[in-house]
Amino acid sequence: MKRLWLIFAQAVTVALAAVFVISTLKPQWLQPAPQRRDAPATSPLLLPQPSALPSSPAASIVRAGFSDAARIASPAVVSVTASKAAARSAGRTRDPLFGFPFGPRQPRSGPQLGLGSGVIISADGVLLTNNHVVEGASDIQVQLSDGRQAQAQLIGTDPETDVAVLKIDLPNLPVIPLGDAASLQVGDAVLAIGNPFNVGQTVTSGIVSALGRSQLGINTFENFIQTDAAINPGNSGGALVDADGRLIGINTAIFSRSGGNLGIGFAIPVDVARQVAASLLKDGVVARGWIGVQTRELTPELAEALKLGDAKTPIRGVLIGGVVADAPAAKAGIRPGDVLTRIGEHPVLTPAELLASVAALKPAGQVEVGVQRGGKAMTFQLTVAQRPRPQRQAEED
């Protein structure tokens, strides 16, 4: 009996020691197997009843994107069809990499149909579009997103910013809210809305890639918003809107080797388009100042050749390459070879700055300009003239 008891005690001791070792080194071996909670253990293939399934969240919770912005802006974006005669005047020569996203035309042997887009900005039927969409058109038709159509009246155009103003007469017109392009920042989300390739109204999304793009050779006055939102033929004159559905630009041009979208598009800021539209609606023209000079950038080599200043005190300004006869600059005594250094109290360092500064002057007003002639600083008083309609072959300030 004692022997059996001894064997039992030893077995229990060994078992307890084994449990202790396992619980110390491999405690998971002693855990019970987890049981599935989605079905009883006796029926592993049994699915829960429909009433037991969790309900789906509301669509407004799971939806992401810019559907609200598209819903606000899209009704005010229209398709514009411009009928043009077969013989068309030659446009400005452009870098082949830059082009207008203007829709397909008919063969040159007959009347041409150009397709673009436009944006309704007032309830009385005022539309913004591009000048190149309607330039030379004998008939302009507008189609709304709700299917209504109307013949448009051309109020006026401004080729130097590529803005045109149309007007239609229809009741209950949708109007796009206007945004503030000056508040844009690189990286802001934007939508481009138009009728590319005549497939119907289309919304594409992207971001603001750059601001203040200029010297592209597209327009005379350039201050473009650059975006990677897809812009294709037919989008010209369409809307670039922010994430709240407000108009911030008019889609105008693309950078492309093939004529299609490469992710680099340009839009006219709404602030510029709105100012141009106000002038066209009020006066029929955009009043800009003009003094009649042709300019060149003043490089260090030119400054040295003209003996302007020295290395320690270089002259900064814009070189006058030519002066138009009987223009304000010629009447005041400005000559080719002079360096124009300021307009009023504002210094000018580049031809683009000079162009913008002069254009901002009020026609018939007086302005004092600073000029460097050789080693002598001079001032001239000018009577500003109205900037003439743009010449296709040359630009003058």
pLDDT tens, position by position, 287-299: 899 999 998 888 7
The more confidently predicted of residues 147 and 30 is 147
CA angle 174, 254, 132 (to 5 degrees): 60
On whether the CB atoms of residues 252 and 100 are closer than 8 A, the answer is yes
Q: Is the pLDDT of residue 35 over 80?
A: no
Q: What is the pTM for the complete model shown?
A: 0.71
Q: Which residue has the higher pLDDT, 180 or 9?
A: 180
pLDDT, averaged across the chain:
81
Q: Is 346 a catalytic residue?
A: no
Highest mean pLDDT among 15-24, 166-175, 341-350: 166-175
Q: Which of 277, 385, 288, 278 is nearest to 331 (CA)?
A: 385
Q: Which CATH class is domain 66-86+96-285?
A: mainly beta
262 pLDDT more than 80: no
- pLDDT for 165 beyond 90: yes
CA distances from 28 to 20, 21, 189 (A): 13, 12, 52
183 secondary structure, DSSP code? G
pLDDT at 40: 46
Residue in 74, 79, 117, 132 annotated catalytic: 132
The residue-averaged pLDDT of 249-271 equals 83
By CB atoms closer than 10 A (0-12, 13-18, 19+), residue 79 is buried
- Residue in 162, 253, 223 with CA at minimum distance from that of residue 352: 223
pLDDT the model gives residue 193: 94
pLDDT of residue 221: 86
- Residue range 188-201, pLDDT digits in tens: 999 999 988 878 88
Could you please state the CATH topology (level 3) that the domain comprising 289-386 is classified under. Answer: Pdz3 Domain (2.30.42)
Q: Per-residue pLDDT averaged across 204-226, rounded?
A: 89
Give the mean pLDDT of 372-386.
Answer: 88
What's the confidence (pLDDT) of residue 267?
94
What's 68's DSSP letter? H
- The string of pLDDT tens digits covering residues 302-359 is 777 777 766 566 778 899 989 999 899 999 999 998 899 999 988 998 888 888 889 8
Higher-pLDDT residue of 248, 303 = 248
For residues 339 and 347, the answer to whether their CB atoms sit within 8 Å is no
Q: What is the mean pLDDT of residues 239-249?
A: 95
Report the pLDDT averaged over residues 38-62. Answer: 50
Q: For the chain, what are the domain ranges?
A: 66-86+96-285, 289-386
Residue 28 burial (C-beta neighbours within 10 Å; 0-12, 13-18, 19+): exposed
pLDDT in tens, 72-131: 999 999 999 998 766 544 444 444 445 555 454 444 445 567 789 999 999 999 999 999
Task: Determine the average pLDDT of the residues in 16-26.
Answer: 68
162 carries an active-site annotation: yes
pLDDT at 260 over 70: no
Is pLDDT of 300 > 60?
Answer: yes
Alpha-carbon span 120 to 148, nearest angstrom:
14
Residue 32's pLDDT is what? Answer: 62
Asked if the model's pLDDT at residue 250 lies above 90, the reply is yes
Annotated active-site residue in 117, 158, 162, 397: 162
User: Among 74, 117, 209, 236, which one carries the catalytic annotation?
Assistant: 236
Question: pLDDT tens digits, residue range 2-11?
Answer: 677 777 777 7
For the chain, where are the alpha helices, taking DSSP H only? Answer: 2-25, 59-62, 67-73, 131-134, 270-283, 300-305, 328-332, 351-359
Q: How confident is the model at residue 64 (pLDDT cuts 50, 70, 90)?
A: low
For residue 164, the model assigns a pLDDT of: 95
